[in-house]
Amino acid sequence: MELLNPEIAAANIGPLFAGLVMTIELTFVVILLSLVFALLVALGGMSRFRPLRWLVKAYIEAIRGTPLLLQLIYIYYVLPEIGIRLNSFVAGVIALTLNYSAYLSEVYRGGIQAISKGQHDAAAALGMTSGLAMRRIILPQAVRIVIPALGNYFIALFKDTALCSVISIQEVVFTAQIIAARNFQYFTLYTIVGIMYFTVSFPAARLVGYLERRMRAGYRRKLR
Protein backbone atom coordinates (compact mmCIF):
# COMPACT_ATOMS: atom_id res chain seq x y z
CA MET A 1 0.00 0.00 0.00
CA GLU A 2 1.34 3.35 -0.97
CA LEU A 3 1.12 5.88 1.87
CA LEU A 4 1.27 9.56 1.01
CA ASN A 5 1.58 9.45 -2.77
CA PRO A 6 3.08 12.75 -3.99
CA GLU A 7 1.64 12.48 -7.48
CA ILE A 8 -1.86 11.83 -6.22
CA ALA A 9 -1.44 14.68 -3.76
CA ALA A 10 -0.26 17.10 -6.44
CA ALA A 11 -3.04 16.10 -8.79
CA ASN A 12 -5.80 16.68 -6.25
CA ILE A 13 -4.53 19.53 -4.13
CA GLY A 14 -6.44 22.08 -6.24
CA PRO A 15 -9.94 20.69 -5.66
CA LEU A 16 -9.13 19.88 -2.02
CA PHE A 17 -7.99 23.44 -1.46
CA ALA A 18 -11.20 24.70 -3.02
CA GLY A 19 -13.01 22.43 -0.54
CA LEU A 20 -11.06 23.96 2.33
CA VAL A 21 -12.02 27.44 1.14
CA MET A 22 -15.67 26.35 1.24
CA THR A 23 -15.18 24.94 4.74
CA ILE A 24 -13.74 28.27 5.89
CA GLU A 25 -16.47 30.25 4.14
CA LEU A 26 -19.14 28.17 5.80
CA THR A 27 -17.43 28.62 9.16
CA PHE A 28 -17.25 32.40 8.84
CA VAL A 29 -20.82 32.84 7.72
CA VAL A 30 -22.03 30.76 10.67
CA ILE A 31 -19.75 32.62 13.09
CA LEU A 32 -21.15 35.99 12.04
CA LEU A 33 -24.77 34.86 12.14
CA SER A 34 -24.50 32.96 15.40
CA LEU A 35 -22.65 35.79 17.18
CA VAL A 36 -25.70 37.97 16.63
CA PHE A 37 -28.43 35.35 16.89
CA ALA A 38 -27.00 33.80 20.08
CA LEU A 39 -26.96 37.23 21.71
CA LEU A 40 -30.62 37.75 20.84
CA VAL A 41 -31.39 34.30 22.24
CA ALA A 42 -29.47 35.07 25.43
CA LEU A 43 -31.32 38.38 25.90
CA GLY A 44 -34.63 36.67 25.11
CA GLY A 45 -33.86 34.05 27.75
CA MET A 46 -33.46 36.81 30.32
CA SER A 47 -36.47 38.79 29.20
CA ARG A 48 -39.19 39.82 31.61
CA PHE A 49 -41.69 38.39 29.12
CA ARG A 50 -42.29 34.82 30.28
CA PRO A 51 -43.50 33.20 27.01
CA LEU A 52 -40.31 34.41 25.34
CA ARG A 53 -38.22 32.83 28.10
CA TRP A 54 -40.09 29.55 27.64
CA LEU A 55 -39.62 29.64 23.89
CA VAL A 56 -35.88 30.18 24.30
CA LYS A 57 -35.65 27.37 26.84
CA ALA A 58 -37.53 24.96 24.56
CA TYR A 59 -35.30 25.85 21.63
CA ILE A 60 -32.09 25.36 23.61
CA GLU A 61 -33.24 22.02 25.03
CA ALA A 62 -34.39 20.78 21.63
CA ILE A 63 -31.02 21.60 20.09
CA ARG A 64 -29.01 20.18 22.96
CA GLY A 65 -31.08 17.03 23.09
CA THR A 66 -30.55 16.01 19.45
CA PRO A 67 -27.46 15.39 17.30
CA LEU A 68 -26.17 18.09 14.98
CA LEU A 69 -26.07 15.52 12.19
CA LEU A 70 -29.78 14.89 12.58
CA GLN A 71 -30.49 18.64 12.61
CA LEU A 72 -28.62 19.02 9.33
CA ILE A 73 -30.44 16.14 7.70
CA TYR A 74 -33.74 17.38 9.04
CA ILE A 75 -33.42 20.86 7.60
CA TYR A 76 -32.13 19.64 4.24
CA TYR A 77 -34.24 16.55 3.62
CA VAL A 78 -37.35 16.86 5.79
CA LEU A 79 -38.26 20.52 5.34
CA PRO A 80 -38.83 20.10 1.56
CA GLU A 81 -41.68 17.73 2.42
CA ILE A 82 -43.52 20.68 3.95
CA GLY A 83 -42.59 22.87 1.01
CA ILE A 84 -39.41 24.52 2.32
CA ARG A 85 -36.72 23.79 -0.20
CA LEU A 86 -33.26 25.14 0.56
CA ASN A 87 -30.02 24.77 -1.31
CA SER A 88 -27.43 22.76 0.59
CA PHE A 89 -25.28 25.74 1.60
CA VAL A 90 -28.25 27.63 3.04
CA ALA A 91 -29.49 24.52 4.81
CA GLY A 92 -26.04 23.94 6.29
CA VAL A 93 -25.74 27.54 7.45
CA ILE A 94 -29.17 27.45 9.08
CA ALA A 95 -28.57 24.14 10.85
CA LEU A 96 -25.14 25.10 12.14
CA THR A 97 -26.31 28.57 13.19
CA LEU A 98 -29.29 27.18 15.09
CA ASN A 99 -27.12 24.54 16.71
CA TYR A 100 -24.23 26.75 17.73
CA SER A 101 -26.46 29.64 18.81
CA ALA A 102 -28.07 27.41 21.41
CA TYR A 103 -24.70 26.76 23.03
CA LEU A 104 -23.32 30.25 22.46
CA SER A 105 -26.39 31.84 24.02
CA GLU A 106 -25.56 29.97 27.21
CA VAL A 107 -22.02 31.30 27.01
CA TYR A 108 -23.33 34.84 26.63
CA ARG A 109 -25.76 34.31 29.49
CA GLY A 110 -22.92 33.16 31.72
CA GLY A 111 -20.89 36.22 30.77
CA ILE A 112 -23.76 38.61 31.42
CA GLN A 113 -24.53 37.01 34.76
CA ALA A 114 -20.87 37.22 35.75
CA ILE A 115 -21.12 41.02 35.86
CA SER A 116 -21.62 42.08 39.46
CA LYS A 117 -24.78 43.62 40.84
CA GLY A 118 -22.71 46.68 41.70
CA GLN A 119 -22.31 47.45 38.00
CA HIS A 120 -26.07 47.33 37.47
CA ASP A 121 -26.60 49.48 40.57
CA ALA A 122 -24.03 52.05 39.49
CA ALA A 123 -25.52 52.30 36.01
CA ALA A 124 -29.06 52.59 37.37
CA ALA A 125 -28.01 55.19 39.93
CA LEU A 126 -26.64 57.34 37.08
CA GLY A 127 -30.07 57.33 35.48
CA MET A 128 -29.40 54.72 32.81
CA THR A 129 -32.38 52.66 31.73
CA SER A 130 -31.81 48.90 31.83
CA GLY A 131 -31.45 48.80 28.04
CA LEU A 132 -28.79 51.49 28.00
CA ALA A 133 -26.97 49.87 30.93
CA MET A 134 -26.99 46.53 29.10
CA ARG A 135 -25.62 48.07 25.93
CA ARG A 136 -23.00 50.39 27.38
CA ILE A 137 -21.96 48.77 30.66
CA ILE A 138 -22.90 45.09 30.96
CA LEU A 139 -22.45 43.71 27.44
CA PRO A 140 -19.02 45.23 26.73
CA GLN A 141 -17.69 43.58 29.88
CA ALA A 142 -19.56 40.32 29.30
CA VAL A 143 -18.39 40.00 25.70
CA ARG A 144 -14.81 40.41 26.77
CA ILE A 145 -15.21 37.66 29.35
CA VAL A 146 -16.68 35.21 26.85
CA ILE A 147 -14.31 35.83 23.95
CA PRO A 148 -12.07 32.80 24.75
CA ALA A 149 -15.08 30.50 25.17
CA LEU A 150 -16.57 31.76 21.91
CA GLY A 151 -13.23 31.17 20.22
CA ASN A 152 -13.15 27.56 21.36
CA TYR A 153 -16.69 27.01 20.08
CA PHE A 154 -15.72 28.47 16.72
CA ILE A 155 -12.79 26.09 16.40
CA ALA A 156 -15.19 23.23 17.13
CA LEU A 157 -17.56 24.69 14.53
CA PHE A 158 -14.79 24.76 11.94
CA LYS A 159 -14.39 21.01 12.40
CA ASP A 160 -18.12 20.32 12.67
CA THR A 161 -18.71 21.79 9.21
CA ALA A 162 -17.37 18.41 7.97
CA LEU A 163 -20.83 17.03 8.81
CA CYS A 164 -22.20 19.15 5.98
CA SER A 165 -20.72 16.55 3.62
CA VAL A 166 -23.90 14.52 4.23
CA ILE A 167 -25.98 17.24 2.60
CA SER A 168 -23.40 17.48 -0.21
CA ILE A 169 -21.97 20.91 0.48
CA GLN A 170 -18.70 20.86 -1.43
CA GLU A 171 -16.54 21.41 1.60
CA VAL A 172 -13.25 19.66 2.06
CA VAL A 173 -14.44 16.27 3.34
CA PHE A 174 -17.14 15.97 0.69
CA THR A 175 -14.57 16.90 -1.97
CA ALA A 176 -12.20 14.19 -0.72
CA GLN A 177 -15.01 11.64 -0.73
CA ILE A 178 -15.87 12.40 -4.34
CA ILE A 179 -12.25 12.08 -5.46
CA ALA A 180 -11.70 8.91 -3.41
CA ALA A 181 -14.73 7.31 -4.99
CA ARG A 182 -12.89 7.64 -8.31
CA ASN A 183 -9.31 6.73 -7.43
CA PHE A 184 -9.50 4.87 -4.07
CA GLN A 185 -6.50 6.86 -2.74
CA TYR A 186 -8.01 7.10 0.73
CA PHE A 187 -4.78 7.42 2.65
CA THR A 188 -3.31 10.26 0.66
CA LEU A 189 -6.55 12.18 0.30
CA TYR A 190 -7.69 11.98 3.92
CA THR A 191 -4.21 12.66 5.23
CA ILE A 192 -4.14 15.87 3.25
CA VAL A 193 -7.57 16.77 4.56
CA GLY A 194 -6.39 16.11 8.13
CA ILE A 195 -3.33 18.30 7.62
CA MET A 196 -5.52 21.05 6.21
CA TYR A 197 -7.83 21.04 9.24
CA PHE A 198 -4.90 21.00 11.61
CA THR A 199 -3.10 23.82 9.82
CA VAL A 200 -6.08 26.07 10.49
CA SER A 201 -7.19 24.82 13.93
CA PHE A 202 -3.82 24.79 15.61
CA PRO A 203 -2.95 28.47 15.08
CA ALA A 204 -6.57 29.36 15.85
CA ALA A 205 -6.30 27.55 19.18
CA ARG A 206 -3.09 29.41 19.93
CA LEU A 207 -4.83 32.69 19.14
CA VAL A 208 -7.63 31.80 21.57
CA GLY A 209 -5.02 31.04 24.22
CA TYR A 210 -3.44 34.43 23.61
CA LEU A 211 -6.82 36.20 23.87
CA GLU A 212 -7.49 34.38 27.11
CA ARG A 213 -4.22 35.56 28.63
CA ARG A 214 -4.89 39.10 27.47
CA MET A 215 -8.34 39.00 29.00
CA ARG A 216 -6.97 37.80 32.32
CA ALA A 217 -4.51 40.67 32.34
CA GLY A 218 -7.47 42.99 32.96
CA TYR A 219 -8.14 46.49 31.70
CA ARG A 220 -4.91 48.45 31.40
CA ARG A 221 -3.60 51.28 29.36
CA LYS A 222 -0.84 49.14 27.89
CA LEU A 223 -1.97 45.59 27.29
CA ARG A 224 0.85 43.11 27.35
Partner 1 sequence: MTDAPSMIEIEGLHKHFGSLHVLRGIDLRVAKGEVICIIGPSGSGKSTLLRCINHLEVAEAGRIRIDGQTVYRDEVNGSMRSHSNRAISAVRAQVGMVFQQFNLFPHLTVIGNIIEAPVHVLRRPKDEARRRALELLAQVGLSDKVDAYPEELSGGQQQRAAIARALAMDPKAMLFDEATSALDPELVAEVLTVMRDLASRGMTMVVVTHEMNFARQVAARVIFMDHGQIVEEGEPRAIFGAPREPRTREFLRTVLDR
Residue 128 in the binding site for partner 1 (CB under 8 A): yes
Which stretches of 33-162 are assigned E, i.e. beta strand?
A: none
DSSP string, 145-210: HHHHHHHHHHHHHHHHGGGGGGGT--SHHHHHHHHHHHH--HHHHHHHHHHHHHHHHHHHHHHHHH
Residue 129 in the binding site for partner 1 (CB under 8 A): yes
Residue 130 in the binding site for partner 1 (CB under 8 A): yes
Rounded least distance, CB 218 to partner 1, Å: 5
Question: Please, are residues 175 and 23 in contact by the beta-carbon 8 Å criterion?
Answer: no
Residue 224 in the binding site for partner 1 (CB under 8 A): no
Rounded least distance, CB 43 to partner 1, Å: 16
Q: Between residues 52 and 162, which has the closer beta carbon with respect to partner 1? A: 52
Q: Between residues 50 and 220, which has the closer beta carbon with respect to partner 1? A: 220
Residue 125 in the binding site for partner 1 (CB under 8 A): yes
Rounded least distance, CB 134 to partner 1, Å: 12
Which of 126, 156, 205, 207: binder of partner 1 (CB under 8 A)?
Answer: 126
Helices 88-113 and 50-64: crossing angle in degrees, nearest 10, is 120
Give residues with Cβ within 8 angstroms of 197, minimum separation 6: 158, 159, 172
Residue 201: alpha-carbon gap to chain centroid: 13
Please, which of residues 160-219 interact with partner 1 by CB under 8 A? 218-219
Binding site for partner 1 (CB under 8 A): 116, 118-119, 121-130, 132, 136-137, 140-141, 144, 218-221
